[in-house]
Chains A and B, each alone.
Chain A
């Protein structure tokens, strides 16, 4: 596709509900990232995939957060038993190769999650 696509764009969840956020990276992009951006803050790293391998999940805030990319393309970020502090924009990003090789990282428009 032309850019990184995320869905849903907006999600309101009741506290305790499970949510799933989807990311379609740019076609052919090997690297995929998830970031969490709270209101008035910069994005914070959650996790990183290279193809289907999750190489870094050091930023996931708790075991309620789970991400997968089973076929090395589309990725899903799942949040179980949502809590109010999970309210944030969840940004997905992708790059052609490893960012450490100088590849530009392209961001999607984000999924805005509000937990009530």
Chain B
């Protein structure tokens, strides 16, 4: 059974700090790892990672995947109050017909002004 573990479960930092969120996984026939941001509404897509060692970047957010050690990190630099949300990590397996994502429980990030 596919499994995703995120840490920490919650994190409180001051505006301007840099944070690193962790995601480790076990999945049969890995296809991709995805990061989503969830405020009190729909999860919104951040990144999809398929290859080890290639950093994906979008503004102050970046993410990288290590397929050997089975983990990914999400970095947020110069945090702002608008970054406060739950960050979800999910993995997808690659066998035929398997379209589902397996999610972790998320990391709740709170940015204090």
Residues of A within 8 A of B (CB): 3-4, 31, 33, 40-45, 48, 50, 55-56, 58-59, 91, 98-100, 102, 104-110
Contacts and interface: CB of A to CB of B under 8 A. Distances in A.
Contact of A41 (B32, B94, B105): B105
A33 B99 CA distance: 9
B45 A106 contact: yes
Interface in B19-37: 31-32, 34, 36
B99 A99 contact: yes
A56 B92 CA distance: 14
Contact of A45 (B44, B48, B101, B105): B101
B74 to A, nearest CB: 15
19 contacts: A33-B99, A33-B100, A41-B106, A42-B4, A42-B103, A42-B104, A42-B106, A43-B88, A55-B97, A55-B99, A56-B100, A99-B101, A100-B31, A100-B92, A100-B98, A100-B99, A104-B45, A106-B42, A108-B42
Contact of A48 (B36, B41, B99): B99
Nearest to A40: B105
B43 interface: yes
A91 B42 contact: yes
